[in-house]
Copies of this chain bind each other. A is one copy, B any other.
Amino acid sequence: MDHLDVPQFLGLLVVMLGAAKLLGALAQRFGQPAVLGELVAGVLLGMSVGGLVDPKNEVLHVLAELGVVILLFEIGLETDLRKLLQVGGSSAVVAIVGVVLPFALGYAVCWMLGLGNLVGIVAGASLTATSVGITARVLTDLNRLQEPESQIILGAAIIDDVVGLVILAVVSGLTQGAEVTVFGVAKTTAIAFGFLVVTLLFGRLVVPPLIRWISQGASPGTPTILAIMLALGFAWLASVAGSAMIIGAFAAGLLLCGSQHAHDIEKGVANLGHFFVPLFFVVVGAAVDVRVLNPVDPANWQTLEVGGLLIVAAVVGKFLAGYAPFWFKGNKKVIGVGMIPRGEVGLIFAQMGLASGAFDSGLFSAVTLMVMVTTFIAPPLLKMLFPPNRPEQKSPETQGIAELVTEA
């Protein structure tokens, strides 16, 4: 009946979880965040090395998306909206500069190499969006999610994601030869931000009392499952409203942060997170094709050249954006580095460039290379600039999803 062998698929999940756990622990042993190991596990199991994990597999794709939705929900659960709004100005400036600068640099690189206008736009666009999942996970691994630097990064990454959606809509229109109107762009922008504002204003009044009411006298797991339903439901609504799933999930978390059942929910959702979140990072890692890195093959030379220049543009652009909120007294380097990883969002642009014919396979690989390198350098750099909080300084109850960095 099914062409998928279910027992074998369960075996694959065991291999994915086992590799993620093992290499995550190994990364920690070498003083790196666990997520780096999970990404490496994905690369090793992916199509270009182990050939076990195909990120295009529909079931894996859904499980991975559940993973990133649950991750952003967990991050939202630990994020105090007031703290986020306090640094809102800084976040907005970081986000805007962090979109404009990398785009301009990326476009300039392509112009320098004589690659044409549309190529420059798509390549520039692929440099704009920050992968909030990876940075948020690293900050969690470092037990630093509550610092002002982290709050600025988180806010900027969320704004970035919304802006990224608008750019995606515009660029997707351009690659299909459609006319792009100012009104259309404004509408997409308004819907994307409007969703966040409306859900937070309206939801804040309705959701916590509703969960309290339903959970009265219900079975022990009820608050957790209601919270998960809220996260998935908001992810769906956000997407219907023209925003991104992870923004909906993050908003759902923000709504429940500090509510009566927040502690139970955090613990319950963490157990689902331990299962789903590593699957997301393994699937992200599996999308990396390491064969483009082989410098012996002359076919890779142009890719490596373009990719190298795009990496410089990507790193410099986001790093300088960290200095944009000049009034902020904290560690500006941390902010810039936190914005570096591009993750899956950059890959979507690369895919779009390839599908539309604007990119050839060499340019596609160059953008892939940029995504891969920015994703992999950010965790160790962030760790270096932002040493982990000693777990002893916090009581185990307040750590939430923070995985202790065991260095013993």
A351-B235 contact in complex given A219-B406, A229-B18, A403-B219, C-beta closer than 8 Å: no
Cβ of A221 and Cβ of B274 under 8 Å apart?
yes
With an 8 A cutoff between CB atoms, is A196 at the interface? Answer: no
Is A9 an interface residue when CB atoms closer than 8 A count as contact? Answer: yes
Which residues of B lie under 8 Å from residue A225 when comparing CB positions?
17, 21, 274-275
Question: A-B pairs with the 6 shortest C-beta distances?
Answer: A7-B239, A11-B236, A271-B271, A221-B274, A219-B403, A10-B232
Q: Cα distance A14–B403 when bound, in Å?
A: 28
Q: Output the nearest chain B residue to A278 by Cβ-Cβ distance.
A: B225
Q: Please tell me if the beta carbons of A233 and B14 are within 8 angstroms of each other in the complex.
A: yes
| Binary per-residue interface labels of chain A (67-84) against chain B in the complex, 1 for a CB within 8 Å, 0 otherwise | 001000000000000000
Closest residue of chain B to A274 (Cβ to Cβ) is B221
Tell me if A274 and B58 are in contact (CB < 8 A).
no
With a cutoff of 8 Å between Cβ atoms, the chain B residues found around residue A228 in the complex are 17, 275
Query: Which residue of B is nearest A401, CB measured?
Result: B221
Given A229-B18, A275-B225, A10-B66 contact (CB < 8 Å): yes
Chain B residues within an 8 Å CB radius of A240: 7
Residues of B contacting A217 in the complex (Cβ-Cβ under 8 angstroms): 406, 408
Asked if A59 is an interface residue, CB under 8 A from chain B, the answer is: yes
Tell me which residues across on chain B come within 8 A of A66, comparing CB atoms: 10
- The answer for the CA separation of A289 and B311 in the assembled complex, in Å, is 57
**Contact pick for A58, options B58, B222, B270, CB 8 Å:** B58
Q: How far is the CA of A69 from the CA of B6 in the complex (A)?
A: 11
Kindly list 16 other residue pairs between chains A and B, CB separation below 8 angstroms, not including A4-B61, A17-B229, A272-B275.
A2-B58, A2-B61, A7-B235, A7-B236, A8-B236, A8-B239, A10-B66, A10-B235, A10-B236, A11-B233, A13-B232, A14-B232, A14-B236, A59-B62, A225-B275, A272-B272
Chain A 25-60 per-residue mask, 1 if CB under 8 angstroms from chain B, else 0? 100000000100000000000000000000010110
| Contact call A6/B271, Cβ cutoff below 8 A | no
Residues of B near A275 (CB, < 8 A) are 225, 228, 272
A177 at the interface (CB under 8 A from B): no
